[in-house]
Amino acid sequence: MSRPEIEIRDLHKSFGDNHVLRGIDLEIAQGEVVCVIGPSGSGKSTLLRCVNLLEEPTKGQVVVGGTELTDPDVDIDAVRRRIGMVFQQFNLFPHLTVTENLTLPQRRVLRRDRAQAAKVAAENLERVGLTEKASAYPSSLSGGQQQRVAIARALAMGPEVMLFDEPTSALDPELVGDVLAVMRMLAQDGMTMMVVTHEMTFAREVADRVIFMDGGVIVEDGSPEQVITNPQHERTRHFLSRLLDPAMANVEENNAG
């Protein structure tokens, strides 16, 4: 069996007295799509940010593609080039065109020349269905289009792993589908993906595994069928019932009040 693409061992992260991650152990295979779900404050985004060391773990190991990121001697910039990340906010440069947003990091980080960077940018804009927006500025795009540009920008760097931190949470509901369609395409292409999301339909249809986190630990880890359709833990059942039926959650809160 080939080695995992992502290995996390006894991962802890504290912010002062706040112990956010409490001993996470996780392996993600090459080409696997893992969706991470859970309530706000459960540690999902912190876990994701520890995978490329945007947050430095307090304790534990993170290994990506066979390289330990938590080794003090590692060339972190070199490893990060293999990890694409897409955030809630699009973080596009407003004064640059869509193509320029895609070519700048290629030229600065990968040292590609202008022509090569433009070719890769065009290929990835086509992948996300935005070829016609190559010369547009971000302010003229919808939120969904801006997020697809952000995905194309990450893909233009040639990553082996893609991390998504609630990529649709800042979007109007009618714009979510186009972004999720791009992510589905990446999954079908065999991209290793770790996705923090509240989009249960996406998790159910696209994920190979679903992880439910609460209180800084992994409560459940299994197939979408196991975790979403037939959860074993009360914490998971309670979270999903509130997420899938918000009206019932409001009734519970009003009755409790």
Q: Where are the domains of the chain?
A: 92-158
Close Cβ partners of 9 (under 8 Å, ≥ 6 residues apart): 25, 60, 61, 62, 63
Helices (H), the chain: 44-51, 76-80, 98-109, 114-127, 143-155, 173-188, 200-206, 224, 234-244, 246-256
pLDDT at 251: 43
Segments in the chain below pLDDT 70: 1-2, 246-257
pLDDT at 2: 65
pLDDT at 170: 87
pLDDT at 233: 94
pLDDT at 56: 93
Summarised one tens digit per residue, pLDDT across range 57-66 is 999 999 999 9
pLDDT at 249: 44
Summarised one tens digit per residue, pLDDT across range 76-121 is 888 888 999 999 988 999 999 999 999 999 999 999 999 999 999 9
CA 189, CA 21: separation in Å to the nearest integer? 31
- Is the CB of residue 132 less than 8 Å from the CB of residue 122? no
pLDDT at 253: 44
pLDDT at 244: 76
| This prediction's pTM | 0.92
The angle that helices 143-155 and 98-109 make with each other, rounded to 10 degrees, is: 30
